[in-house]
């Protein structure tokens, strides 16, 4: 079974970000956010495998803020679901939702990367 997650980038949020600062600085913010998201998603996966749910919750919460900053609304929403699963200690839902977070994150990063060739 191959799972595919639909991702969307909030173009309005990206336009606003680019409008708030010069293009070079905005590009730097987006690139740093993408790098940080990739690192935190990998960290979330490691924490889950170790059973460190409280740390996983904190890491997922930090993903929300970063994803919101660069218009990754779907990723932010899925990260919120991961936080909820850690809080209610639902292991089955957490496993499924974390898998979705990783798939959505990968797709979102690819979508933002693809936009770099397009004038925002």
**Cβ atoms < 10 Å from Cβ of 85:** 23
Stretch 86-108: mean pLDDT, rounded?
93
What is the predicted pLDDT for the residue at 6?
65
Asked whether the beta carbons of 81 and 73 are under 8 A apart, the reply is: no
Both tokens assigned to 112: 């933002």
Average pLDDT, the chain: 87
Q: Is the pLDDT of residue 83 over 90?
A: yes
Q: Give the residue from 73, 70, 74 showing the smallest Cα distance to 120.
A: 70
| Claim: this prediction has a pTM higher than 0.95 | no
Q: Is the pLDDT of residue 23 over 90?
A: no
- Contacts of residue 11, defined as CB under 8 A and 6 or more positions apart, other chains included, come to 71, 120
Q: Which domains does the chain have, with CATH numbers?
A: 11-115 (1.20.120)
């Amino acid at each position: 079974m191959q799972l595919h997650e639909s991702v969307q980038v909030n173009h309005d949020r990206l336009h606003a970000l680019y409008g708030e600062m010069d293009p070079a600085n905005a590009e730097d913010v987006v690139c740093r956010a993408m790098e940080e998201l990739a690192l935190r998603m990998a960290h979330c996966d490691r924490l889950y495998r170790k059973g460190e749910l409280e740390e996983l919750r904190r890491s997922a919460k930090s993903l929300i803020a970063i994803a919101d900053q660069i218009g990754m609304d779907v990723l932010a929403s899925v990260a919120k679901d991961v936080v909820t699963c850690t809080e209610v200690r639902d292991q089955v839902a957490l496993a499924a939702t974390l898998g979705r977070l990783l798939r959505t994150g990968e797709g979102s990063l690819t979508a933002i990367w693809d936009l770099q060739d397009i004038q925002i």
